[in-house]
Amino acid sequence: MLFNSPEFLLFYPTVFIVYWLIPNKSIKLQNILLLVSSYFFYAWWDWRFLSLIAFSTIVDYILGLAIADSEGKKRFYLFLSICTNLGLLTVFKYFNFFIDSWIRAWAVFGYEISQSTLSIILPVGISFYTFQTMSYSIDIYRKEIKPTKDFIAFATFVSMFPQLVAGPIERASNLIPQIINKRIWSHKKFKEGLLQIAVGFFRKVVVADNIGALIDDVYNMPELFDSSNILMAVVLYSFQIYYDFSGYSDIAIGTAKLLGFEFKQNFNLPYFSSSITEFWRRWHISLSTWLRDYLYIPLGGNRKGTVKQYRNLFVTMFLGGLWHGSSWNFVIWGSIHGLLLAFEKKTNWIPKTYKFLNNMCVFCIVSLIWIFFRAINFNDTLLIFKKLFSSNYGQLYIGDSNILVTTFYGLGFALSFDVYLFAKRIDLENLGSKIGTPSFIVFMTFILMNILMFYSSAANFIYFQF
């Protein structure tokens, strides 16, 4: 079920009303409702996916208790948890990728191996909830948290529908205490959540979807377009993926807040970064901090010398790229970021004199690296780079002029809003409670009118493919 679908607009208000009308705000009944609703939400795509999330939940619940209760074998139980979660990812996300890569590697040496692949459907959200349950087991092993004996609470933590499909990747230390303890209705949280949901829908429906309609043909058939159109697509894709994914996160955080939960911030105006390091502190924060805490630091972080720090940065981003998808394009995308992060540790390669120029430099670099992320295959990636750095610049091809006008209309408002947040140093998560009621009503009316005016169909969110 998509956030931007008519089904969700019926589903969520129903859950919201029943949730807050439960007698005495019973935590047990509220959690059961959340769990059932989350499984219904997830089953809307394919009910068969439920067996995987249920299996992962049961395994990590049992192993979490075992890790805490068995000092002598806790490393073995942690190993089982990690192998189970990574095993699910390997089979359902990477099996055919590894087989295909193995065959191609042998073909380089002249050996032909018959290809055998499986028709495997990638379960939506599997990359997110496996990381979430895996971090739970690791935190218990590190004695940073204690396991919960409330199975309903743990199952709700794994499957809570606002963040189930594309994050944020929540930590058990933040979310489970909120699930176990009583939630209290808050007018302040209601305003904050409602505004963030509206902004999320605006970013997705008015900005990201219209950019996609304008540039998808260029990325899908780059051989048909000249350098001007390629450049436009490269720049606009940076905004599309940001407003699409941050829009999803806004809706997720907002819907959770209306139910009494506080999710962690997932985006903090990443294109205002003055370095690649800062970019990763602002972009997909729940994933970048997960990679830092559960991969980079265990590898040694910056504690074992400069060379090993560079290695750890590269390995972390290499695997972070692979996490995004079973394609060498994603691996290359992550590896380039890893090399740049390591290079930044070695030298101040970006000038610090003028911050605006610094921001523009980072934006241009990130936009170029996004080509690996968006291009359909490596050949298309090379073609796009070739055209970008050629002299074949001519007149832009404009398809539907209405889409062009709509794109820059929505993008203009979205960028102006981001500049306002950055200049005032306000987090979107808190904005709803910082503005007065009249301003709140005017702002919400403007956003809702735009959403209704530009909504056409429920387009998938980009990060659903991961």
User: What are the catalytic residues?
Assistant: 324
| Local structure of 143: helix, strand or coil | coil
How wide is the angle at C-alpha 118 spanned by C-alphas 113 and 123, nearest 5°? 140
For 230, half-sphere exposure in the C-beta direction (CA atoms, 13 angstrom radius) is 25
The reply to whether omega before 13 is within 30° of 0 (cis) is no
Place of tokens 């909120």: 178
Give the N- to C-terminal CA distance of the chain in Å, as an integer: 16
Q: Contact at 8 Å (CB) between 410 and 240?
A: no
Residues 90 and 126 sit within 8 Å (Cβ to Cβ): no
**Distance in angstroms (rounded) separating the CA atoms of residues 101 and 326:** 10
State the Cα–Cα distance between residues 272 and 89, nearest whole angstrom: 33
The answer to whether 186 touches 436, Cβ cutoff 8 Å, is: no
Note every long-range contact of 291-300, with CB atoms under 8 Å and residues 24 or more positions apart, other chains counting: 291/316, 291/317, 291/319, 291/320, 292/316, 293/135, 294/134, 294/135, 294/138, 295/319
142-147 long-range Cβ contacts below 8 angstroms, 24+ apart: 144/173, 145/172, 145/173, 145/176, 146/68, 147/61, 147/64, 147/65, 147/67, 147/68
| Contacts (Cβ under 8 Å, ≥6 apart) of 4 | 201, 204, 205, 455, 458, 459
Contact, 146 vs 140, CB < 8 A? Answer: yes
